[in-house]
Amino acid sequence: MSKIGIIGIGNVGSTLAHTLIERHHVTDLYLFDKNKERCVAEQQDLICAQIGQKTTTTIHIGQKEDLATLDLVVFSVGNIRLLNGSGSRFDELDFTKKAAKEWSKYLTNYAFKGILLVITNPCDVITHYMQQLTNFETNRVIGTGTSLDTARLQHALSLAFDVMPNAINALVLGEHGATQFVPWDYVKTLNPQLDFTKHDLEQLANQALMIGETTFTGKGYTSFGIANQADQLICALTSSQKTFYPVSAYDSKQDIYIGQYASLNYTGIIDISPISLTEKEEQAYQKSVSWIKEMATHI
């Protein structure tokens, strides 16, 4: 149980707020948004959502000086309508880099000392940009990265092989976007008779990508899936127990943030787990690296 702040109370931020409260994962929740009326509206709605329930979260309209007291802040400012169904995170960059610059100033000026979890897209680029702007240690600036893509892969495989998603251990690495890839040696199922590698792996990976596209096309945004993943990451990042997740983490060799498999606890990223890649997967990783670096030149 922790003091959590959410910057950006749109579709994702508000869904995450409700998820944290429903699952009893936050003691005090602070809502930050340039639209003050939206903050008040969400505060009142979330308070009413607890009536008759066993949740006891105190919900605050965040003031900038509150940042100094928080254990973890989620940055979820965005405008997914800018994506226009292209699948390219590049389309969101001009808007989100301005928001990142503004809020990074507040985080440093008001002495935030906790973990910064970035959802805002393009996730890898914005996470790195906020780390550079704040000069926070790289281990405590983390992006949700390919955690959602991994969940979508579990979903796609569950549909393809008629098994429960939680019966599949999956992993997606690289960019949170079109150049993501799957290291198939790390995809396992509780049913040893199912062998994914005997199937068209490219098609299976594409089906996972299409789940995100279908969600966006039908709703105009995504919210529940990413809120679920962010909630799980927040639990890991406010716990003393070591937990492993795919996240957007700093790659010191490439000097970028990119989807990697990391161990986490309340200190942030403890270390990056080495993943053995095939030659084709290494090429895919380098493709993600190149694309993230290309986007970063437009910051």
Cα separation, 24 vs 75, in Å, equals 20
- Give me Rg for the CA atoms of the chain: 19
Please count the helices (runs of H) and the strands (runs of E) in the chain.
8, 11
| Candidates 18, 25, 128, 176; catalytic one | 176
Q: In the chain, which ranges are E strands?
A: 3-7, 28-32, 58-61, 72-75, 115-118, 141-143, 168-169, 188-189, 243-251, 256-265, 268-272
Separation CA 271–CA 11 (nearest Å): 32
Is residue 267 a contact partner of residue 238, using CB atoms and an 8 Å limit?
no
Judge whether 24 counts as a catalytic residue.
no
Strands 141-143 and 256-265 turn out to be unpaired
CA 137 to chain centroid, in Å, comes to 18
Element (DSSP H or E) covering residue 291? helix 279-296
Instruction: Please identify every residue annotated as catalytic.
Output: 176
